[in-house]
Amino acid sequence: MGFERGFLDYERIEPAKAPVSERIKNFKEYYATLSDADAKIQAGRCMDCGTPFCMHKCPLHNIIPDFNDFACQGEFSKALNVLQSTSPFPELTGRLCPALCEEGCTLGIHRDPVGIKSIERKIAEYAFEHGLMHAEPSVHRTFKKVAIVGSGPAALACAQALGRRGHQVTVFEKNDRIGGLLRYGIPDFKLPKEILDRRLALMEAEGIIFRPGVLVGKKGDRDTGVFCNASEVISPEELKAKFDAVVLCPGSEVPRDLKIKGRELKGVYFALEFLIGQNLEMQGEGENPVDVRGKKVVVIGGGETASDCIGTAIRKGASEVTQLDYHDELPATVDIMEAWPDWKRIKRTSPSQEEGCTRLFSTNTTSFEGKDGALSAITTQKVKWGEGHHFEGIKGTEGRMDADVALIAMGYAHPSAHLAEEFGLKTTARGSLEAAYEGPEAFCTSDPKVFAAGDGRRGQSLVVWALAEGRLCAEAVDRFLCTVPHR
Ligand SMILES: Cc1cc2nc3c(=O)[nH]c(=O)nc-3n(C[C@H](O)[C@H](O)[C@H](O)COP(=O)(O)OP(=O)(O)OC[C@H]3O[C@@H](n4cnc5c(N)ncnc54)[C@H](O)[C@@H]3O)c2cc1C
């Protein structure tokens, strides 16, 4: 335990954040890394609880009290060793994680929780800055070959773990760059792509082979998902013949649609059409085809994707941004004794929402209206939620707002159905790849040689869950490979 009275003597330190007026001028990352001194104080607030609920709440089960203890003493190298023993890419979770650990922090019951996420980022950035983050190639080789389909966080975590166990790993990605949603979904202001590239370089140095631009499937599947710019196709049969095991990490790419009147109008897009367009633009690959400059933008949905659309639309010069969420507005606070150590169901404001958008709750989108084939307005109705996940429209609460662009950010249903069909795999009722999370069959699909992890298995989720699944899946694949004879 760092400072004996740290939790009493010091307040939570938030990482510095660029002011709204500055940050909306560009796509630069707006959070800064803590200074050494602030990180030490922040880590010194940790109470080193006997039962650390923070660890329990973290899907990676990071050993938080121990890395806090080292960070508090300024021993960032030792803190890194602890952190890396469970977390494959702390520089990603230190930026993107909603920090489930902080919700479970015991200090959070009566004061502000320890800023665990900012300490994690500090340890990772300190390590990169001081040359402590190395490639760790395996000293032995098993000569077993594993193909991983997809290159999002689940695939990357799985590839790193299998590569470090001495297996030869090849990652196949249908898009021309590696990273999955880290590359093409999440905007630069949350994750600058240099952070991802820095990690990919280390993985290449560890011997991971990346094959971008290769769709695993059949010719003609190319229009599955919102985006695919594959130049090559490899069939499931070929992959299974050439590799000892195959891991599918295809994400949950099929977006939920809003099939209401006027859906076909120009100006109505899926959120990812806009976000991918922007990420491509940032990479110098042509202007975002979804132009919002000077336009009234309506974002439909309440999650992280919706927030990213808001921040991107504001940076691209939208004249007005409105967010429609059919969920009820949550209260500002809840009784901590009822909520802790779980995620508090309170109203949260993301940095993007803070940048200037009107948020309407309990509001359902009922139709898109157009003029000359282009969106001109959106009609709405207030809703009342009943038992289960059902709502009803309230008569007399119909509304209408002018809109030039509508972005549908209502989540993702499941991975492309083609992949499961072509591999001949069972899927769940929701269309995800069927594989258990625990037990002797963990992560194994209905084909014993094929494994599945990440959003494609569990449904749309979080980066930290994708990383946890990728690591656990690697353990399952490693156990399976022990039973496979050498070729
Ligand atoms: C806009 C947006 C913002 C988000 N922000 C956050 C955030 O801030 N924090 C957070 O924790 N989570 C966030 N998430 C969720 C998070 O990004 C996902 O949970 C996570 O990326 C899932 O990882 P994955 O590896 O399972 O899949 P993905 O990242 O979706 O990667 C899947 C990859 O598989 C590839 N692929 C699919 N099929 C094939 C095929 N047949 N052949 C070859 N390649 C294929 C796809 O092209 C894709 O690159 C966000 C999601 C979105 C959409």
Strands (E), 243-361: 245-248, 254-255, 268-270, 296-300, 320-324, 358-360
Ligand 1 mean position to 461 CA, how many Å? Answer: 9
pTM: 0.97
> Which CB contacts under 8 angstroms, 24+ apart, belong to 234-241?
234/172, 235/422, 236/422, 236/423, 239/147, 239/149, 239/172, 240/449, 240/450
Reading the block at residue 367, the tokens are 């139709």
Domain assignment present for residue 139? The answer is no
CATH code for the domain of 317:
3.50.50.60
Reading the block at residue 98, the tokens are 């909603």
3-state secondary structure at position 286: coil
Q: Tell me what the mean pLDDT of segment 312-325 comes to.
A: 98
Residue entry with tokens 């650990």: 101
Domain assignment present for residue 363? The answer is yes
pLDDT tens across 209-238, in order?
999 999 999 877 655 677 888 999 999 999
Please tell me whether residues 310 and 194 are part of one structural domain. Answer: no
Please tell me whether residues 233 and 173 are part of one structural domain. Answer: yes
Domains: count for the chain? 3
pLDDT band at 2 (very low <50, low <70, confident <90, very high): confident
Ligand 1 mean position to 353 CA, how many Å? Answer: 22
Range of the domain at 385: 257-410
Reading the block at residue 92, the tokens are 């990603």
How far apart, in whole angstroms, are the C-alpha atoms of residue 270 and residue 407?
Answer: 5
Q: What pLDDT score does 140 carry?
A: 94
How far apart, in whole angstroms, are the C-alpha atoms of residue 125 and residue 22?
Answer: 24
Domain assignment present for residue 140? The answer is no
Please tell me whether residues 269 and 400 are part of one structural domain. Answer: yes
Domain assignment present for residue 186? The answer is yes
Please tell me whether residues 262 and 379 are part of one structural domain. Answer: yes
Ligand 1 mean position to 431 CA, how many Å? Answer: 16
Cβ–ligand 1 distance for 149 under 6 Å, the answer: yes
pLDDT tens across 384-429, in order?
999 888 999 999 999 999 999 999 999 999 998 899 999 999 999 9
Please tell me whether residues 34 and 71 are part of one structural domain. Answer: yes
Residue type, 185: G
Q: Which residue has the higher pLDDT, 418 or 444?
A: 444
How far apart, in whole angstroms, are the C-alpha atoms of residue 53 and residue 132?
Answer: 29
Q: What pLDDT score does 291 carry?
A: 98
Residue entry with tokens 């076909």: 264
3-state secondary structure at position 267: coil
pLDDT tens across 254-304, in order?
999 999 999 999 999 999 999 999 999 999 999 999 999 999 999 999 999
Cβ–ligand 1 distance for 152 under 6 Å, the answer: yes
| Mean pLDDT, the chain, integer | 96
Atom of ligand 1 nearest to the CA of 214: 43
Domain assignment present for residue 230? The answer is yes
Ligand 1 mean position to 181 CA, how many Å? Answer: 4
Domain assignment present for residue 373? The answer is yes
Atom of ligand 1 nearest to the CA of 416: 38
Q: What pLDDT score does 332 carry?
A: 96
Residue 22 phi, psi dihedral angles, 5° rounding: -85, -45
Cβ–ligand 1 distance for 186 under 6 Å, the answer: yes
Domain assignment present for residue 138? The answer is no
Ligand 1 mean position to 474 CA, how many Å? Answer: 18
Residues in the chain: 487
Which of 82, 105, 129 is the endpoint of a domain? 129
Ramachandran quadrant class, 392 (left: phi over 0; alpha: psi -120 to 50; beta: rest) = beta
Dihedral angle computed from the Cα positions of residues 177, 182, 187 and 190, in that order, rounded to the nearest 10 degrees: -140
Please tell me whether residues 335 and 359 are part of one structural domain. Answer: yes
How far apart, in whole angstroms, are the C-alpha atoms of residue 21 and residue 19?
Answer: 6
Distances (CA, A) of 239 to 38, 78, 247, 433, 449: 50, 41, 10, 18, 11
For 116-179, the DSSP string reads HHHHHHHHHHHHHHTT-------SS----EEEEE--SHHHHHHHHHHHHTT-EEEEEESSSSS-
pLDDT tens across 158-181, in order?
999 999 999 999 999 999 999 999
Q: What pLDDT score does 225 carry?
A: 72
Name the DSSP class of 338: H
How far apart, in whole angstroms, are the C-alpha atoms of residue 455 and residue 445?
Answer: 14
pLDDT tens across 334-370, in order?
999 999 999 999 999 999 999 999 999 999 999 999 9
Q: Residue of the nearest CA to atom 35 in ligand 1? A: 150
Domain assignment present for residue 227? The answer is yes
Please tell me whether residues 48 and 102 are part of one structural domain. Answer: yes
Q: Residue of the nearest CA to atom 20 in ligand 1? A: 463
Q: What pLDDT score does 417 carry?
A: 85
Q: What pLDDT score does 223 carry?
A: 52
Strand order across the beta sheet in which 268-270 lies: 268-270, 405-408, 296-300, 320-324, 358-360
Please tell me whether residues 281 and 150 are part of one structural domain. Answer: no
Which of 129, 154, 186 is the endpoint of a domain? 129
Q: What pLDDT score does 224 carry?
A: 60
Please tell me whether residues 406 and 304 are part of one structural domain. Answer: yes
Please tell me whether residues 310 and 203 are part of one structural domain. Answer: no
CATH code for the domain of 77:
1.10.1060.10
Which of 349, 379, 410 is the endpoint of a domain? 410
Cβ–ligand 1 distance for 100 under 6 Å, the answer: no
Please tell me whether residues 43 and 112 are part of one structural domain. Answer: yes
Please tell me whether residues 294 and 435 are part of one structural domain. Answer: no
Q: What pLDDT score does 387 carry?
A: 86
How far apart, in whole angstroms, are the C-alpha atoms of residue 146 and residue 172?
Answer: 11
Ligand 1 mean position to 253 CA, how many Å? Answer: 8
